[in-house]
Structure 1
């Protein structure tokens, strides 16, 4: 989307045409296009406002009712931070006493909007004129938006700095036509070296990165926080200077009712045999696993971990943990198709849902080899315990029965 077309969309005529459109319905786009052109509207503008209408429709999942008043690009919408997460970024700067933030690479302005909501002064930058114009339209009056190469911007030493480096390869599209995503630190724009140099300057600096950020890449003196929303890990933020945590690695887990930060320097004890499995299995949120803080879950449930890095903890205590799912363990056996098949048949199980963690196999062949017969269903987890593979038959546990301990 070029800057001239964005300017037309943001003009009074463009906004008026966009606001006049009915609720987006993909089945009616062709007829609506024909009608608008017949009314004398420029075909290029019609196409642009219909694209905006479609993007606003998609954006409701991220931005709720605010989407109806915002402007987007396809890549900008996909990379934009959800408001609830962005509010946490802003709160961190505010808690550190920062009152002015330079947003270097603001995209459509989702984080900058959160900074402004928190009462912070914001100076936003983007290299692309069209994206900067859209950010300007999305941000409240008084917010400065500059079209500038952020690597050459004059950043005062007293301001906080926020970066959301582009994680897309310019000029390379995927099969959907969108710019191809990249997960390598060396492909970020601005570069990872630029980010870390700013972080080393002593400023309050935060950078939003991919959830696949490797723990080993975290610079000394910085902290990293993986954030999930509704069970999906959406980002890893690296924080420097006054906004860094005392704990190098943390997880932030957002659910419909909770906003929990998990930290732990504790390495959980491991279960050493199938016989050591307890009544419950807890499966940590993936942000907890990414951050390597499953020890906090083991402490919370007085349990032990099945295998390092997988996020599975077993224990006899029933505890409601907002960053983990709890299951009852119906059966636990070493990975053996014949023995598992016999147990499933003896329990009249003819349908299974298969989960796996830390192991690789063909799911379809696995189910086919079980030769299931019966009317009941079961949840099967294939995972590791110490150096061996095991199979657990589980059922979700959300009952209010008393704790099973004597």
Structure 2
């Protein structure tokens, strides 16, 4: 591998001691200039000692609201810095359970940004399985973050080289792959700048550009780090790969030689992915996890607008983002849209489809807060789920104004029906 400058990972201050070396352990983070294998940075290294591991186990399920008292007690027997590091990791692990599950999350290490930006494990496992189905056996994972995708690639039997330019993040990624995929194929984590990393010999790429800055999310794909155009060119040159992008990307920015996949998990849209491989058609696909249901573009026109029927169907967010309403509702022969600009589908009959959630509608009303308030009071509705599409109403403020009381619950859809602001009341259809 060609050498790369130390500046990709930052230089040691003048006069600082050289990093200690150790015998290689799989996988291990290393500098991209083929420099010495380094010990974990001070923030992580103490936690890997027996004392650090015991302390992590002790604070695993602590209540953050009682953290000050706990820290005071623990500092009687442990160094203050180690206690702070353990409590910090414990908090991050608790946040990570939603993405990684308790068993994995409490064996991993995180940074605050790493928890926020890491791929959910079920989504990463889906992507790894798809890469393996394409015949991939070696992946270069650029901008790997804390290593969530690298872990699932290794678990899928794919050799992985993970690259991140932040030294601490690279060391954390190495620790996470060691912890969660110790018996996998060869893997390494390299501290380097993705844009200057030597991709010679790479079989496939996975690129996960940073889409956040200090001020928040980045919506312009050319403001990603690295820019989307760079990632597209890198995958094209390699010949096979995938690029993780924001699900709100305009369709016109998807290259003609890439397929686009929108992925949801548990009904929440998580990401979009651009795929490039020999012979892979440039299709649009929506994938719903954990079920694994998929629907692909077939060039169907959107359903016609029709009056509200007995049932309302709310398409999964991935279906909406992929513009696949028609393909996802082909099982609904009498279906139509409530409004030509709104992704709510209505029908007189109940049909089960994995791509939509069905509601049985009880009332269709013009938008009128006072009328709705009176109706909900009459029906003793105390719990109201507010769903909106094509409405400027803020759900929390709307719910507060209704002053709900009662033992019953229902759902209100604030939307448009043939252009007119409307309210539809209903409940999940019987299964």
- Does TM, scored on the shorter chain, surpass 0.5? yes
- TM-aligned CA deviation for residue 259 of structure 1: 1.8
- CA distance in 1 between counterparts of 2:371 and 2:328 reads 31
Q: How does 1:100-179 map to 2 (within 5 A)?
A: 100-140=138-178, 141=182, 142-169=186-213, 172=214
Q: Which residue of structure 2 aligns with residue 50 of structure 1?
A: 87
1:184 maps to: 220
Q: Counterpart of 1:23?
A: 61
In the alignment, is residue 321 of structure 1 matched against residue 369 of structure 2? no
Give CA-to-partner distance per residue, 1:336-375, whole Å, 9 cap, x none: 6687678x38975666544321122365786799899998
Q: Which runs of structure 2 are paired with 1:257-276 in the superposition (5 Å)?
A: 258-264=291-297, 265-272=299-306, 276=307
Alignment RMSD (CA, Å): 2.9
Superposition pairs of residues 6-405 of structure 1, within 5 angstroms: 6-21=44-59, 23-39=61-77, 41-64=78-101, 65-140=103-178, 141=182, 142-169=186-213, 172=214, 180-201=216-237, 203-242=239-278, 244=280, 246=281, 248-255=283-290, 258-264=291-297, 265-272=299-306, 276-302=307-333, 303-308=335-340, 310-335=342-367, 344=375, 348=379, 353-361=385-393, 378-399=410-431
Query: Aligned to 1:33, what secondary structure does the other structure show?
Result: helix
Structure 1 pair 21/371, CA: closer, same or farther in 2 (3 Å)? closer
Give the 3-state SS of the residue equivalent to 1:123 in structure 2: strand
* CA shift digits 1:85-143 (9 cap, x unpaired): 11111011111111100000111111011110110010011100100000111114541
Which ranges of structure 1 fall in alignment gaps of 5 or more residues? 174-179, 400-406
Compare 368-377 and 141-150 and name the one that shifted more. Answer: 368-377
Contact 2:311 2:361 in 1 (8 A): yes
Q: Report the alpha carbon displacement of residue 271 of structure 1 after superposing the two structures with TM.
A: 1.8
| Contact 2:163/2:190 (<8 A) preserved | yes
Structure-2 separation of matches of 1:138 and 1:243: 34
Tell me whether 201-210 or 11-20 shows the greater mean CA deviation: 11-20
CA distance in 2, matches of 1:101, 1:304: 44
Counterpart CA distance in 2 for 1:367 and 1:4 is: 49
Distance 1:25 1:369 in 2: 34
Aligned equivalents of 2:95 and 2:379: distance in 1?
44
Distance in 2 (CA, whole Å) between partners of 1:133 and 1:371 is 52
Residues 243 and 213 (structure 1), Cα distance of their counterparts in 2 relative to 1, 3 Å cut: farther
Distance, in Å, in 2 between the alignment partners of 1:277 and 1:143 is 55
Q: CA deviation at 1:75?
A: 0.9
Find the residue that maps to 2:82 and give its secondary structure. Answer: helix
In structure 1, the residue corresponding to 2:313 is in which secondary structure? strand
Bigger relative contact order, structure 1 or 2 (CA pairs below 8 A, ≥6 apart): 2
Please report the TM-score for the alignment, with normalisation by the length of structure 1. Answer: 0.84
Aligned equivalents of 1:346 and 1:15: distance in 2?
56
Cα gap change, 1:364 to 1:154, in 2 (>3 Å): closer
Separation (CA, whole Å) in 2 of partners of 1:33 and 1:69: 21
Question: How far does the alpha carbon of each residue in 1:273-310 deviate from its partner, in whole angstroms, 9 at most, with x for none?
Answer: xxx32221111111111111111232122211223453
TM-score normalized by the length of structure 2: 0.80
Contact 1:222 1:238 in 2 (8 A): yes
- Identify if the C-alpha distance between structure 1 residues 154 and 269 changes in structure 2 by more than 3 Å, giving closer, same or farther: same
Report the secondary structure of 1:189's partner residue: coil
Is this contact kept in 1: 2:136–2:203, CA < 8 A?
A: yes
Count of aligned positions: 382
Q: 2:377 touches 2:405 (CA, 8 Å); kept in 1?
A: no
Higher normalized helix content (fraction of residues) = 1
Q: 1:168 to 1:375 in 2, by over 3 A?
A: closer
